[in-house]
Structure 1
Amino acid sequence: MPSLRHNGSSEDSPATESDRGPRDAYLDAARACILDLGWRRTTLTEVARRAGVSRMTIYRSWSDMSQLLGDLMTREWRGVVTEAVAAEDPSRPAVERLVEEVAQTVRVLRENELFVRIVELDPELILPYLLSRRGRSQELVLDVVERAIGAAQETGEVRAGNPRAMARGLVLAAHGFVLSAHTMVDEAVSEADLDEELRVTLTRALQS
């Protein structure tokens, strides 16, 4: 079964240390600014200062902070997906493998320091991707999940159905476990308990 790690074009993959370019350094500077100052107080001028380049150098890549944030979030969330599936076991059954990849992506994203910082200080930045439109990172995840579902359907490991709709259903289910899990944690239910419930939900959604 295709995994989240092995699908998509090379341009969708996070940069490695060997192929990082100047833009990655600028995005690193932007990331550090947002972690320190929050989105509202971060400017292209501050990003340029931290990156050690002129403001015009940054403006040649991004005309405003919204464009820069879009590229930063895309790079960050792609990296989250890569990290979540780094330890995948190709010998596992297709359903188990896909469920674990999604569950691990949810867990890693929920703990990602940039994501946590944005949710804490500037949650309105996330709202468009929940209420109005899909982002580039969501499209990437949807594409690779859809491919994985389609491949597993061919072997009979995943139930029949529209793989695109099924992929979107899985991602919608995962949204709540990323954004709202903390509201459901108390002395009776732990985060690990919820993660296990996510695995059960995803498994039953995929099984034939």
Structure 2
Amino acid sequence: MAAERFNSRSSALQLVRARPASDAAQAIDSDRILDAARALLLEEGLPRMTMTAIADRAGVSRATLYRRWENVTGVVADVSTREWNRLTERAAARAGGTAREKVVSTVVHIVREMRSHPLLRVLIDESPEFLTPYQVRRQGQVTAFHLVVIEDAVRQGFADGSIRHGDAVAMAQAVVLMSWSFVTTAPAIVGSPDAVGPELDALDTELTLALDRYLAP
């Protein structure tokens, strides 16, 4: 029932899309809607969210919401993409040193922050099926962004001599694959439901070592 609710389309959806969006609807800042959806996700969880609740929280009409997203899952996907991309940009901006040091520092920081992030915890705890397609079926926007950032840094490492030469695309993919389990699976392995603690700090140290040795000339 919950899955039907957050994936269902209103009968009004087709009518809404048949009409051109008004200037007022186009002028509404998407961040305002995503902020509202983010707050609801943390408060209610994905299975209990509705398009009506998001629209009410954002102070917009359901018609405005449906012009941009088909369902709650689509809204939450954009909330997640915005959150993780911002986190990635902050992590990349704070890293220093050689290109290899920047890659390792950035990736480990992203892993640590994502793993304990309230948004990811509520999705893993209540709606793990939301994450499954991005793990086994298709590459999401966040993964695509991570791959671009890491590939660019790997190529910089080729230039400054801090990273061994190889296939930059495959190396970026390997780094992402190596790191993702430290985000999603590590808390279960060490028995840390809150995704924080000394056991996970120790794993992050091991990830740092593994990435550094993998990329080193």
TM-score range, shorter chain: 0.7 to 0.9
Q: Residues 20-59 of structure 1 correspond to what in structure 2 (within 5 A)? A: 22-59=29-66
Aligned to 2:207: 198
- Contact (CA 8 Å) 2:147, 2:176: kept in 1 or not? yes
- Indicate whether 1:155 and 2:160 are aligned: yes
- Indicate whether 1:144 and 2:144 are aligned: no
* Distance in 2 (alpha carbons) for counterparts of 1:52 and 1:183: 39
- Contact (CA 8 Å) 2:100, 2:163: kept in 1 or not? yes
- Indicate whether 1:106 and 2:127 are aligned: no
* Distance in 1 (alpha carbons) for counterparts of 2:126 and 2:207: 27
What is the RMSD of the two structures over their aligned residues, measured on CA atoms? 1.6
* Distance in 1 (alpha carbons) for counterparts of 2:51 and 2:60: 11
Structure 1 range deviating more: 141-150 or 55-64: 55-64
**Among the aligned pairs, what percent are the same residue?**
36
Residue number among 82, 92, 99 corresponding to 1:85 in the alignment: 92
SS at structure 1 position matched to 2:47 = coil
C-alpha deviation, 1:141, in angstroms: 0.6
Aligned to 1:118: 123
* Distance in 2 (alpha carbons) for counterparts of 1:155 and 1:88: 16
SS at structure 1 position matched to 2:30 = helix
* Distance in 2 (alpha carbons) for counterparts of 1:161 and 1:96: 17
Structure 1 range deviating more: 154-163 or 170-179: 154-163
The TM-score with structure 2 as length reference comes to 0.81
* Distance in 2 (alpha carbons) for counterparts of 1:154 and 1:97: 14
Change in CA separation of 1:186 and 1:125 when aligned onto 2, cut-off 3 Å: closer
Amino acid at match of 1:75: R
C-alpha deviation, 1:68, in angstroms: 1.4
* Distance in 1 (alpha carbons) for counterparts of 2:99 and 2:91: 16
Q: Which has the larger radius of gyration?
A: 2
Amino acid at match of 1:205: Y
* Distance in 2 (alpha carbons) for counterparts of 1:153 and 1:123: 38
Amino acid at match of 2:189: M
* Distance in 2 (alpha carbons) for counterparts of 1:64 and 1:121: 18
* Distance in 2 (alpha carbons) for counterparts of 1:88 and 1:43: 39
Aligned to 2:140: 135
**How many matched pairs?**
185
Structure 1 range deviating more: 161-170 or 107-116: 107-116
SS at structure 2 position matched to 1:133 = coil
- Contact (CA 8 Å) 1:84, 1:108: kept in 2 or not? no
Amino acid at match of 2:61: S
Amino acid at match of 1:82: E
Higher helix share: 2
The TM-score with structure 1 as length reference comes to 0.84
